[in-house]
Amino acid sequence: MVLNDPLHTLELGDAGSRVVFCHGLFGQGRNFTGIGKVLAERHRVTLVDMPDHGQSPWSDRFDYLAAADQVADLLSTDDPVALVGHSMGGKISMLVALRHPQLVERLAVVDVSPVPYDHSAEFEGYLRAMRAIDLDTLASRGEADHALREAVPNPTVRGFLLQSLRREGDGWRWYLHLDLLARDLDRITDWPEDRLSGTAPYAGPVLWIGGAESDYTHADYVAAMDRWFPHNRRVRIKGAGHWVHSEQPEVFVEVLKRFVD
């Protein structure tokens, strides 16, 4: 169940059609600030903090459909959007398009598919390491980086996670509901197929962006994507894994600009 307060947003740009970004697990809307600023030259851009992330309200249970409906509450049928979602945010975005198609003019799904994944073990390691950091005695962000190094050897991923650790006054705070994310990780890696009975496929245009070195958009998942999103076009970006927009930002933004323009 999710709290009733609206999700936190950051707005960029004041003209053109609207583009809304939904980040992935452990992220924040501001992860897309650089890309959002580029698009804001021609669009109104909204960066959304997903439930239990950033400055958005915390819930007592992770629920994909409830999260999708919270995002839908930010949108209007008078101003349908280009919705962009990465990973967890990609699943939320797909569900917004399926449940509220009148709100979504087009959809960009970034390195995720409408299927359950078996990646919880990797994320469990991240969560254990983040929760093990004693924020009361933490002296610096560098110390936190060192504490995560064994569980998160990739410095790009480590830096991404540490964006949600902020100094507040004399102490530190995670802008993530770590206890809930750890408890409900199986829900987050799942796809709520059994709750979509009677839901029609989304008829709008879909850009399916994957990292060439990622297995989240594996060929085995094409059938599921085609079933729910029959008008999708698949693009795979070389030199990128799961965090496509962080690993190849210039290529990513060019691909996305062509789609939303």
Hey, which residues are catalytic here? 87, 179, 242
CA 46 to centroid of chain Cα atoms? 13
Q: For Cα atoms 23, 25, 30, give the angle at the middle one, nearest 5 degrees.
A: 35
Q: Find all residues with CB under 8 Å of 53, minimum gap 6, and list them.
A: 23, 26, 27, 28, 164, 175, 176, 177
Give the residue from 256, 232, 252, 237 showing the smallest Cα distance to 113. 232
For 189-213, the DSSP string reads TS--GGG-TTPPPP-S-EEEEEETT
CA atoms of 37 and 44, how far apart (whole Å):
10
Q: Is 213 left (phi over 0), alpha (psi -120 to 50) or beta?
A: alpha
CA–CA dist 8, 89 (Å, integer): 14
CA 192 to mean position of chain CA atoms: 17
Q: What phi and psi, each to the nearest 5 degrees, are found at residue 38? A: -65, -45
